[in-house]
Amino acid sequence: MSRGFDPVEFGIRYGFLLLMAGLIVGFSVAQPAFMSARSAVFIFQSVAITGILALGVTATLVVGGFDLSIGAVATSSMMLAAYAQVIWQLGAIEAVALCLLMGAAVGYINGVLIVKMRVPDLLATLGMMFLLMGLQRIPTEGNSISTGMALPDGSNATGTFSPSFLMLGRHRLDVVIENLLPLSVVFLIAIAVLIWIFLEMTRHGRIMYAIGSNDRAAALAGIDVNGYRILAYVISGTLASFGGILLAARLGRGDVASGNNLLLDAVAAALIGFAVLGAAKPNAFGTAIGALFVGILLQGLTMLNAPYYTQDFIKGAVLVIALVFTFALSGRRGRARH
Amino acid sequence: MISRRTLIGLMGGAAMWPGLVLAQDGAPAPFDNPGDVRIALVRYLSTGDFFQAYLSGVEKQAEALGVELQVFDSRQDAALQADMVDQAIALGVDGIIIQHGLTESMKEAAQRAVDAGIKVVAFDVNVENEAIPQIEQSDRDLARLALEQAIEDNGEEWVAGYVYVPGIAPLDRRNETWVEFKETYPGITEKAAFGTMDNPIANSVANQARSVLSANPDITVMFAPYDEFAKGVKIAVDEAGLSQDVSIYSADISTADIALMREADSSWKATAATNPAVVGEVSVRTLAQYLAGEEVAPQVIVPPTLITQDQLNELEITNMEELGAKLPEFVHADVSVSDWMTLPER
């Protein structure tokens, strides 16, 4: 690669970012309201929850694993946050701590199932997904949780969501414009930066990549492969439960939902991330861009009155194109290098 | 024809009201020995507050009548639901309630049940069978009540946003009313139509509604004829700081919805709803009448109620129970009531 300019190389590295810039310009021309500070912030807000989940997926992808349970962890965490506050009448801090603990515990169990019990990752997390989807409904007999709801014993729930808890999903900071930046966006950016630093800058991150590319070699090099793989699932579970907390804070109730759409959107973001900057591997920066890309598309299409099925179609098309970028083009480059 | 029959049913039900206390004494066969009567509820949809409340209505009315109820839950698996009807036939139940489902998959299974001598009623699914009475919450009336309120509040000229996902039977029926309304009132302009069933639905709809509101700042009325849609729109309206400028009209209600409608400056102005628990009770009563050999209308319609923000505030209603207590028409429908029946306690 000593030549000055290689269009294929350039396309692989910057193609996706250019496509994104093109989309932004296109939508702005078609609908001027698209190009405003509020609209930009809103795109971030609409992808904050799936983005955070996608960063968790990235952590498991890095060690060559996969976590199908994140959607269910997120909705379970939402139900738990609601249950803790509305029925147990706990405060915001206890509720958040409880949810994070639940997410970490689920991640740990996933990790142990995969590493110690040797259950394949897709199967273990699939089982966990169904388990959680059922478990979150048992305490309320399948009902959503909200203040004033009738309890199985005939009385009514009197607890309310703590205002500081609701702030997590609703409060907006004054940045340049008043009430501009939602806290959830701040969380997304902070978590993305943290995961990026962890994976790219620390020894632990490099070890996790090493495990993902060849776990046997990593084990022979004296690395605690099992420990790191469990850690990846704990990260994934914890981030998913945090996503659920933000969801509960935005909706203001515990909504019965399977979370499958959250899972699919998060996985799509992480996979699109492979194509960003020609990384051809899971990476935090790519995941964040992938999530944003989907957010920009959906926001723009909705503004242009495109019905939901065309949005699903386009989401799918983007994913396929991203995967082609990753596997076909980058693969050719890889072979050319040999 | 249908409405006249329903009306006669209503009048009959109302006239019999005082006799209810004595219920079950002179119950016709097979309800003279209700413990031996077994009915099955075969469900297609079960997740969510509406279906949970429907089930509780079915359970309560079955208990009040003293019959044995068996619940089959296919969880949106159309083939499994048909198998479950066969299972119920094999168990030798006396009556079956089919709750939702697809015409194509249920038609034959329902016919098999009828052939086996079982009395069948269907809620919100058309199984194209004359021997099977249909129980319906009137979605057209739901939409009409909400839209009439929108006209009353906002006049006949406004710019609207509309939330709709085609292909879902009750939403399609509500949509028919919306289409008619736009023709009747040419002053209504539909600037944007959006909607999604991605769950959590409220969260996904909120994201869409935010885009729609920023692209179309002139929208003053949002018609969201499903409460999950309305919740999503309300989140978006609040986030955009437009709660004074946009009014939301909706259908369905729950305790959480009541809280949202009653928030200070809430943009959610009115909703029209049928109590799902009442629909569940009506389903069981219709089946019971059918089993007792009484005449049952081919279409049994449970009438909806309009619930406005002002009403909730004036009557200080905070949950579904109080709604039932203070708006009695919401907690009981005099539909499919015979004098020998015991009604659930309230």
B284 and B260 within one domain: no
B238 and B281 within one domain: no
Round to the nearest angstrom and report the end-to-end CA distance of chain A: 11
With 60 as the cut, is the pLDDT of residue B1 above it? no
With 50 as the cut, is the pLDDT of residue B13 above it? no
As a whole number, mean pLDDT of residues B316-345 equals 85
Q: Identify from B219, B255, B258, B346 which residue to disrupt to test chain A contact, counting A C-beta atoms within 10 A and taking the largest count.
A: B255
H-helix segments, B31-138? 49-65, 78-91, 103-115
Across the interface, which of B49, B208, B231 has its CB nearest the CB of A143?
B49
Nearest of A256, A300, A292 to residue A29 by alpha carbon = A300
Dist. CA A316–CA A321, nearest whole Å: 9
Q: What is the DSSP string of B232-274?
A: HHHHHHHHTT-TTT-EEEEE---HHHHHHHHSTT-SEEEEEE-
B261 near A CB under 8 A: no
Q: Within 13 Å of residue A160, how many CA atoms lie on the same side as its CB?
A: 7
B193 near A CB under 8 A: yes
Chain A residues lying within 8 Å of B319, measured CB to CB: 148-150, 156
B134 and B6 within one domain: yes
In a domain, B161, yes or no: yes
- Lowest average pLDDT, out of A101-110, A170-179, A222-231, A279-288, goes to A170-179
pLDDT band at A332 (very low <50, low <70, confident <90, very high): low
Number of domains in chain B: 2
> In this structure, what token pair is assigned to residue A307?
């019905």
> In this structure, what token pair is assigned to residue B201?
């639905």
pLDDT at B183: 92
Q: What is the CATH number of the domain that holds B28?
A: 3.40.50.2300
Contact A260 B200 (CB under 8 A): no
Nearest of A263, A314, A11, A19 to residue A122 by alpha carbon = A263
pLDDT at B20: 43
Dist. CA A53–CA A266, nearest whole Å: 6
Across the interface, which of B207, B210, B319 has its CB nearest the CB of A148?
B319
Question: Are residues B163 and B236 in contact, defined by beta-carbon separation less than 8 angstroms?
Answer: no
Could you tell me how many residues make up chain A?
Answer: 338
- Lowest average pLDDT, out of A293-297, B105-109, B180-184, B328-332, goes to B328-332
Task: Give the residue numbers spanning the domain of A199.
Answer: 16-332
Question: Are residues B119 and B104 in contact, defined by beta-carbon separation less than 8 angstroms?
Answer: no
Q: Which residue has the tokens 């069978």?
A: B129
Contact A150 B319 (CB under 8 A): yes
**Domain boundary pick from B231, B252, B273:** B273
Contact A305 B254 (CB under 8 A): no
Tens-place pLDDT, residues A216-263: 999 999 999 999 999 999 999 999 999 999 999 988 888 777 788 889
In a domain, A3, yes or no: no
- Lowest average pLDDT, out of A194-198, A323-327, B4-8, B28-32, goes to B4-8
In a domain, B94, yes or no: yes
Across the interface, which of A38, A258, A305 has its CB nearest the CB of B214?
A38
B87 and B54 within one domain: yes
Nearest of B84, B93, B119 to residue B36 by alpha carbon = B93
pLDDT at A4: 67
Contact B214 A42 (CB under 8 A): yes
- Regarding pTM above 0.80, the answer is no
Across the interface, which of A31, A36, A146 has its CB nearest the CB of B255?
A146
Contact A261 B199 (CB under 8 A): yes
Contact A257 B258 (CB under 8 A): no
Q: Identify from A256, A308, A312 which residue to disrupt to test chain B contact, counting B C-beta atoms within 10 A and taking the largest count.
A: A308
More confident residue, A301 or B133: B133
Across the interface, which of A257, A258, A302 has its CB nearest the CB of B211?
A302
Task: Give the residue numbers spanning the domain of B13.
Answer: 2-138+275-304
Q: Could you give the ipTM of this predicted complex?
A: 0.76
pLDDT band at A337 (very low <50, low <70, confident <90, very high): very low
Across the interface, which of B48, B201, B256 has its CB nearest the CB of A146?
B256
Across the interface, which of A34, A252, A256 has its CB nearest the CB of B47?
A256
Determine the residue of chain A that is closest to B200 in CA distance: A257
pLDDT at B50: 79
Across the interface, which of A38, A258, A305 has its CB nearest the CB of B192?
A305
pLDDT at A336: 39
B7 and B124 within one domain: yes
B194 near A CB under 8 A: yes
Contact B47 A307 (CB under 8 A): no
Contact B203 A251 (CB under 8 A): yes
pLDDT band at A331 (very low <50, low <70, confident <90, very high): low
B91 near A CB under 8 A: no
Bridge-partner residues for B31, per DSSP? none
Burial call A175-200: b when 16+ CB within 10 Å, e when fewer: eeeeeebbbbbbbbeebbeebbebbe
Chain A residues lying within 8 Å of B201, measured CB to CB: 257
pLDDT at A300: 86
In a domain, B115, yes or no: yes
With 90 as the cut, is the pLDDT of residue A314 above it? no
Measured between CA atoms, how close is B164 to chain A, in angstroms?
A: 9
Phi/psi region, residue A300 (left: phi>0; alpha: psi -120 to 50; beta: rest), is alpha
With 70 as the cut, is the pLDDT of residue B194 above it? yes
Determine the residue of chain A that is closest to B202 in CA distance: A251
Dihedral sign (CA A219, A221, A222, A227)? negative
B174 and B228 within one domain: yes
In a domain, A264, yes or no: yes
Tens-place pLDDT, residues B235-261: 999 988 888 889 999 998 888 888 899
B212 and B269 within one domain: yes
Dist. CA A127–CA A123, nearest whole Å: 6
Q: Work out how many CB contacts closer than 8 A connect A with B.
A: 118
In a domain, A10, yes or no: no
A83, with CB counted inside 10 A (0-12, 13-18, 19+), is buried
Determine the residue of chain B that is closest to A306 in CA distance: B194
B280 and B133 within one domain: yes
Contact B192 A253 (CB under 8 A): no
Determine the residue of chain A that is closest to B197 in CA distance: A308
Burial call B138-158: b when 16+ CB within 10 Å, e when fewer: bbbbbbbbbbebbbebbeeeb
A21, with CB counted inside 10 A (0-12, 13-18, 19+), is exposed
Chain B residues lying within 8 Å of A247, measured CB to CB: 200, 203
Residue A247, SS3 per DSSP: helix
Dist. CA A169–CA A231, nearest whole Å: 27
Contact A251 B200 (CB under 8 A): yes
B105 and B252 within one domain: no
Chain A residues lying within 8 Å of B208, measured CB to CB: 298, 302, 308
B263 near A CB under 8 A: no
Number of domains in chain A: 1
In a domain, A47, yes or no: yes
Between the CA atoms of A66, A69, A70 and A76, what dihedral angle is there, to the nearest 10 degrees? Answer: -170
Work out the number of other CB atoms within 10 angstroms of the CB of residue B24. 15
In a domain, B346, yes or no: no
- Lowest average pLDDT, out of A193-197, A231-235, B207-211, B318-322, goes to B318-322
Chain A residues lying within 8 Å of B214, measured CB to CB: 33, 36, 38-39, 42, 303
Contact A147 B198 (CB under 8 A): no
Phi/psi region, residue A9 (left: phi>0; alpha: psi -120 to 50; beta: rest), is alpha
B204 near A CB under 8 A: yes
pLDDT band at A275 (very low <50, low <70, confident <90, very high): confident
Could you tell me how many residues make up chain B?
Answer: 346
pLDDT at B104: 83
Across the interface, which of B52, B256, B321 has its CB nearest the CB of A253?
B256
Measured between CA atoms, how close is A126 to chain B, in angstroms?
A: 18
Dist. CA B197–CA A299, nearest whole Å: 16
As a whole number, mean pLDDT of residues B286-299 equals 93
Residue B70, SS3 per DSSP: strand
Chain B residues lying within 8 Å of A255, measured CB to CB: 199-200, 202-203
- Lowest average pLDDT, out of A40-44, A85-89, B305-309, goes to A40-44
Sequence-separated (6 or more) residues with CB below 8 Å from residue A163: none
Dist. CA A151–CA A139, nearest whole Å: 10
Q: What is the DSSP string of B307-319?
A: EEHHHHHHTT--S
- Lowest average pLDDT, out of A232-241, A288-297, A320-329, B114-123, goes to A320-329
B293 and B248 within one domain: no
In a domain, B256, yes or no: yes
With 80 as the cut, is the pLDDT of residue B7 above it? no
Q: Identify from B46, B210, B227 which residue to disrupt to test chain A contact, counting A C-beta atoms within 10 A and taking the largest count.
A: B210
